[in-house]
A = this chain, B = another copy of it.
Amino acid sequence: MKVCFVGIGLMNGSLSLDIQQRYPDAVIHGISRKEATLDKALSLGLIHEKGSLVELSDADWVFVSIPVEAIAKLLPQILDGIGEDTTVIDFGSTKTAICSAVANHPKRNQFLAAHPIAGTEYSGPEAAALDLYKGKTIMLCESKKTRKDILERAVLLFEELKMTIRYMDAVAHDKHIAYVSHLSHITSFMLGKTVLEKETDEQNIFDMAGSGFASTVRLAKSSPEMWIPIFAQNRVNVLETLEEFISNLNEFKDKLQAEEFDALLADMKNINTIKSILDRK
């Protein structure tokens, strides 16, 4: 079994560890623009050899986990070079632009658009971890455009990784994910910015920041190179979520300014219901 990873950071690196554990015979090729990344991946055992985009014709699997604008750009070229039975899967956090980029490609049916709801705020090969995907959800988009045997093979692999599979329209995916993921990243970055601007004395952040702050600002450690393309591709949805979030903040501010504490209390009690949704997860 030949597996080619295009991009070999947190996502593909973790997948490689999972695959190597389950399929000891798998030969893993890593493809990256950065030689240093490949060297690192080799030394960490995430890949067996350095590969390139011209040797995909005998690959069983090609996984593409690079910034989303690069996925959309590279995917047609990847499909050009694959063999009859190669399965190509991307792990991008947006799905509409990526699906559009290959909508009319002759090998569209060998491609599966996927988004695993898994990850951490860290990136690069060093961040790779076994079982990152275990128990997590993976969203599959436009799966009817994927050849039946290819889809089945992919589903089997994700089940092997103990993932929960959900099917969704690419447009719906991008709309929902803006609310439950992209907005969180922006609020985290802006919270980090607000505090950094104000707390010029880092010692104060260090002393007074508790687990609550750490939790809300954690995503501000995420890779900007990964996230800017996501915001760019999902710009319209992200702008909508931002407008609603800012409007809610302004409403809170106005009520606090006017000392309307009963109204604030009622609002917050209502928002508390999110507990039952989060905790059943």
Contact = CB atoms under 8 A, between A and B. Distances in A.
Contacts of A277: 202, 205-206
Contact of A207 (B166, B197, B228, B241): B166
Interface string A235-252: 100110111111011101
B213 A215 contact: no
Interface stretch (A26-34, A84-92, A260-268): A260-268
A197 B80 CA distance: 44
B268 A253 contact: no
A280 B206 contact: yes
A224 interface: yes
Contacts of A275: 220-221
Contacts of A184: 191, 212-213, 215-217
Contact of A180 (B190, B208, B239, B267): B208
B206 A179 contact: no
A271 B193 contact: yes
A143 interface: no
Given A215-B215, A277-B202, A246 B246 contact: yes
A117 B209 CA distance: 7
B195 A249 contact: no
Given A193-B271, A256-B231, A264-B228, A278 B181 contact: no
A104 interface: no
Interface residues on A, range: 35 or more
Contacts of A186: 249, 252
Nearest to A273: B196
Contact of A119 (B190, B207, B212, B272): B212
B271 A220 contact: yes
Contacts of A196: 270-271, 273-274
Interface in A170-218: 173, 176-177, 179-181, 183-199, 202, 204-218
A158 interface: no
A274 B217 contact: yes
A179 B46 CA distance: 41
A248 to B, nearest CB: 5
Interface of A: 117-121, 136-137, 139, 164, 166, 173, 176-177, 179-181, 183-199, 202, 204-221, 224-225, 227-228, 231-232, 235, 238-239, 241-246, 248-250, 252-253, 256-257, 259, 261, 264-265, 267-275, 277-281
3 smallest A-B Cβ distances: which pairs?
A: A224-B268, A117-B210, A184-B216
